[in-house]
Amino acid sequence: MTIHHTAIIDSDAELDSSVSVGPYAVIGKGVKIDAETIIGPHAFLSGPLTIGKVNNIGAFSCIGAPPQDIRYKGEETFLRIGDGNVIREYCSIHRGTPSGHGVTTIGNNCMLMAYSHVAHDCTIGNNVILVNNATLGGHVEIGDRVTVGGMTAVHQFSRIGEYSFIGGMSGISMDVPPYVIVAGIRNDMQVRGINKIGLKRAGFSNEDIRKLGHAFTMIFKTKDLLLKEALEKVKKEIPDSVPVAKMVEFFAVSNRNVVRLSSDDE
């Protein structure tokens, strides 16, 4: 274990012997840090907080602070961070609330770039990228391999489906389906198309991408079908695609409006 002599570590904190802690870092009560994680200078960590293996926590980040919820009265809530994440300078991640999940969760191999914020009760999957200044409101759910562009704000309780890409400076106030590219603000949010580049990089087959493109056309570009009719048509015409089935299911379980306006709709 390498701990700079200026770091302050509560006696209740539990750090693996391979953890590195930089100058002036503060690690509070109830913090547990697993093997080979690096804590940068001036980072502030407060518990209850668990951090997995091989994470890199940047300078001046604030990890595990109480939720910004006026109903919060000091109850025990949690933040859990998985393995292999990069959390850059000045990031902030808050614990859950008793009225929510009680826990905020970050998966594995995510990159949270400088000044990004994850509010209370958020659930973030694996391989997610939050670009500089991306901000998540409370209770946001983000699927695996999502990229949220810089200076984008995501409204509380919104869901962002897996493998989607959110353009920079967007304002997300509705659920975003999986596998698509979205950009815009509130009533001007637009679905630009299937995230073909992201899907290819993730190893999706050309056939899966073709079927998603066909489903996209029926759901987002067929003007004479209601959403329910479009989803039924997709299920009938493309019954054998797991990604397409996931897209249809996303609409079915949404408790909010799902963005459906495509870039060529006026």
List active site positions.
Answer: 120-121, 138
Q: Where are the beta strands (DSSP E) in 67-128?
A: 78-81, 86-87, 92-94, 103-106, 111-112, 117-118, 123-124
DSSP 137-203: -TT-EE-TT-EE-TT-EE-TT-EE-TT-EE-TT-EE-SBB-TTEEEE-BGGG-EEEEE-HHHHHHTT
Closest Cα to residue 44, out of 27, 22, 29? Answer: 27
Q: What span, in angstroms and rounded, lies between the C-alpha atoms of 246 and 176?
A: 13
Q: What span, in angstroms and rounded, lies between the C-alpha atoms of 116 and 142?
A: 14
